[in-house]
Amino acid sequence: MTIPDAGAQQLCPACRRAVPAGGRFCPSCGSAQAGSAPAAPAGIVRFLPWIIAAGATFALVLVLLKPGSVAPAAVPAAPASQPGTAPPDLSTMSPAERFDRLYRRIITAAQSGDQATVTQFTPMAIAAFGMLDTVTVDARYHLAMLQLHVGALAEAQSQADSIKRENPEHLFSYVIGAAVARWNKNDTARDAAYREFLKRYDAQVATRRPEYLEHQAMLEEVKRMATAGKTPS
């Protein structure tokens, strides 16, 4: 299983973090690199049909929003490769396909408590993100979820900030921000993110953005958590 060489690196001019050679976007702050195509402002990357049940993504989000918890074993996972079956050659896939395939594999591993696979494949997924032709809000959200899962809190917050710069109303910015605050045990920042999320929830859900429809269960759960811990604005 191969991906573009992440050994050779360059520095992002925005945040000065390492970017895989040839990467079009910085995996840390999401900034477009010199000579890359501009990032799409919104929408969702359309991937090949490897999509697992929505409950799998939902379960991972709950793990990320509730540090120390374990995803329920009953949530359906993507089918595992049969013993002795060679893994797919990621080098034959487009950057978007590669990032999605790795993301789904990591989610499935996280569900089952397979931290070794999470640790092995997360750097590959982050490198694949840097090679994307365009970065959508959905891709930034997926990257932030992976970064949170390995404790890269500053990098995850950078994805929230990038989403907010493109669209200050987008719910994913506040979802990520609240998750980062929970991991940092910063109740003030968490409550502030929840308030901003709730202010925008009804109007944003009514837009029926593709990424909202895909992550509907997650958004409803965050709303429930935000409402339960609601503080005066």
Angle at 62 between CA 228 and CA 131, to 5 degrees: 130
For residue 173, give both structure tokens: 């910015």
143-168 pLDDT tens trace:
999 998 888 999 999 999 999 999 99
Alpha-carbon radius of gyration of the chain: 17
Q: What sign for the dihedral angle of Cα 42, 44, 46, 47?
A: positive
| 122-131 average pLDDT score | 90
pTM: predicted TM-score of the whole model, two decimal places: 0.67
Q: Is the pLDDT of residue 134 over 80?
A: yes
Residue type, 137: V
Query: Is 50 exceeded by the pLDDT of residue 192?
Result: yes
* Residue scoring higher pLDDT (11 or 218): 218
102 φ, ψ (degrees, to nearest 5): -65, -40
Task: Give me 100's structure tokens.
Answer: 């999605």
Mean pLDDT over 53-80 rounds to 39
Q: Which range, 39-43, 58-62, 161-165, is most confident?
A: 161-165
**Mean pLDDT of the chain, nearest integer:** 75
pLDDT at residue 128 is higher than 60: yes
Query: Would you say residue 88 has pLDDT above 70?
Result: no
One DSSP character per residue, 82-120 reads PTTPPPP-GGGS-HHHHHHHHHHHHHHHHHTT-HHHHHH
Q: Where are the domains of the chain?
A: 49-72+91-228
Q: Which residue has the higher pLDDT, 117 or 64?
A: 117
Q: Which two tokens stand for residue 106?
A: 């990591």
pLDDT at 20: 67
Does residue 9 carry a pLDDT above 70? no
91 pLDDT band (50/70/90 cuts)? confident
Whether residue 180 contacts residue 148, with contact meaning beta carbons closer than 8 Å, is answered with yes
Residue 118 has pLDDT above 60, yes or no: yes
| Burial readout 193-204 (b: 16 or more C-beta within 10 A, e: otherwise) | bbbbbbebbeeb
Euclidean distance between CA atoms 102 and 117, whole angstroms = 10
pLDDT digits (tens, 9 = 90+) for 196-231: 999 999 999 999 999 999 999 999 999 999 998 765
| Lowest-pLDDT choice from 24-28, 29-33, 60-64, 141-145 | 60-64
DSSP string, 6-58: -SSEEE-TTT--EEETT-SB-TTT-PBPTTPPPPPSS------S-PPPHHHHH
Can you give the pLDDT at residue 54?
A: 35
Strands 18-20 and 9-11: antiparallel
pLDDT-based confidence at 31, cuts 50/70/90?
low
Domain 49-72+91-228 belongs to what topology? 1.25.40
